Chains A and B, each alone.
Chain A
Amino acid sequence: GQSLEQPSEVTAVEGAIVQINCTYQTSGFYGLSWYQQHDGGAPTFLSYNALDGLEETGRFSSFLSRSDSYGYLLLQELQMKDSASYFCAVRDMGFKTIFGAGTRLFVKA
């Protein structure tokens, strides 16, 4: 079957660094993406990794290791507004993008 595993919840304090891991098992792999979703809002695209390594976009970075079927999202200098759900997503063969169950991030003052 196809599956993406990520922690259900993570809590961190303002100003800290937090890492959200994602392991995947899919039929074919065309890249790992990360999305942010605030309560009541729509998922918004954060990053995409097709090749191994680290991609940095401002305070957010995303890492991929295809040999380990593993990636993570790194959030630095956490702010209260970063409290949201974060989804990893993999595009498999046939244009289908499969989402993980989401990690709820709580940022405390």
Chain B
Amino acid sequence: DTAVSQTPKYLVTQMGNDKSIKCEQNLGHDTMYWYKQDSKKFLKIMFSYNNKELIINETVPNRFSPKSPDKAHLNLHINSLELGDSAVYFCASSQVGGQGVYGYTFGSGTRLTVV
């Protein structure tokens, strides 16, 4: 199946732990993103990579570190997890660094719960 796939789908962890979310796309897109969706469903951009180069780095705590080993993969590592990090994290990809007529393709999301 052609898609954006991210793992895990659910993540429950204790405060202070370190966790990673992985994302892969097989659509041949050159740009990937991490978005955070809070409990009020507000989608906020966190990071974006274009061909492995970081092009967007929003005001995000430096506990969050993205890594893109190649243009098909974008992972998110979170250190010292806090209660406020609980949210759904979406990976997305697009072609030519923007939305264009084809838009973003989102992964199914990772629901992170910090207890």
Contacts and interface: CB of A to CB of B under 8 A. Distances in A.
Interface of A: 30-31, 33, 35, 37, 41-46, 48, 85, 87, 89, 91, 94-99, 101-102
A50 to B, nearest CB: 8
A95 B97 contact: yes
A87 B42 CA distance: 9
A8 B19 CA distance: 33
A57 B101 CA distance: 12
Contact of A42 (B56, B90, B100): B90
The majority secondary structure among interface residues of chain A is strand
Nearest to B108: A42
A101 B104 contact: no
B90 A43 contact: yes
Interface of B: 31, 33, 35, 40-45, 48, 50, 55-56, 90, 97-109
Given A94-B56, A95-B31, A95-B56, A43 B101 contact: no
Nearest to A41: B108
B45 A98 contact: yes
Given A33-B103, A96-B45, 11 more contacts: A35-B104, A45-B104, A48-B102, A94-B55, A95-B31, A95-B55, A95-B56, A98-B45, A99-B35, A99-B42, A101-B40
A37 B104 CA distance: 13
Given A31-B99, A33-B99, A43 B106 contact: yes
A101 B102 contact: no
Nearest to B104: A45
A43 B101 CA distance: 16
Contact of B48 (A37, A44, A89, A96): A96
B99 A89 contact: yes
Given A42-B109, A95-B98, A101 B103 contact: no
